[in-house]
Structure 1
Amino acid sequence: MEKCPWCEKGKLTAINGTVYWELPDGTRAIEITETPSSHCAECDALFQSDEIVKEIEDQLFLIDSKQLEKQTKYSELMGMKRLLKRNYFDFS
């Protein structure tokens, strides 16, 4: 198990948590439930891996975000039809 990067005391456990994400156009934020996350029981912090963050950000950039409700499940978000095949603006 990984040590918590926030409090440096607790151990991280894998959970599915709720996160809030601002849409790329900045018009609003949405609630994404059942998101793969790490949780620290010591300080109650919730983290997402860099890979999950990138997946969410890319997907929000590639879909028609006007079709999103205020709340969605992570699996539903990731299953939405993309307008582009990939993020052509990601040069990493």
Structure 2
Amino acid sequence: MKCDWCGYEATEEQGDVYWELPDGTRAIEITSTPGIVCKGCHMAYQTDEVTKAIEDQLFLIDTKELPKSITYKELMERPRLLKRNYFDFTS
């Protein structure tokens, strides 16, 4: 796998990220989040797919009940208020 930033060798790893909620009221920590870490430039980032999954899930669940810290798996297993993001016109 190649780093999207510098092209050097990168690996898939899990890490902690901080995400602002869609309503802008606060940020939460999402632990054990799938990501990419570059061995050259040491950039750590999430793929577009993971980013979209997190953003969609945060838009579709009741974020008022989220703790300050949650695992990626726990976040994705939260029950949705809507079946899908009807405001996403990219698909």
Alpha-carbon distance in structure 1 between the residues aligned to 2:75 and 2:4: 27
* Number of equivalenced pairs: 90
Cα offset, 1:11, TM superposition: 1.2
DSSP-derived class of the 2:75 partner? helix
- CA shift for structure 1 position 61: 0.2
Which segments of 5 or more consecutive residues in structure 2 lack a partner in the other structure? none
Q: Identify the match of residue 77 of structure 1 among 75, 78, 85.
A: 75
User: Identity of paired residues, percent?
Assistant: 60
TM-score normalised by structure 1 residue count = 0.92
Q: TM-score, normalised by structure 2?
A: 0.93
1:30 counterpart residue number = 28
Q: Structure 1: state its 5+ residue gaps.
A: none
Of 11, 14, 39, which aligns to 1:13? Answer: 11
In structure 2, the residue corresponding to 1:87 is in which secondary structure? coil
* Equivalent position SS for 1:21: strand
Q: Deviations over 1:1-36 (max 9, x none)?
A: 21x233x15311000111110000000001101111
Moved over 3 A (4+): none
- What is the DSSP-based 3-state SS (H/G/I as helix, E as strand, rest coil) of the residue aligned with 2:76? helix
Counterpart of 1:67 in structure 2 is 65
Aligned ranges 1:38-77 → 2 under 5 Å = 38-77=36-75
Corresponding position of 1:90 = 88
State the alpha-carbon separation in 1 of the partners of residues 9 and 30 from structure 2.
24
Secondary structure, in 3 states, of the residue corresponding to 1:66?
Answer: helix
Partner SS, residue 85 of structure 1: coil
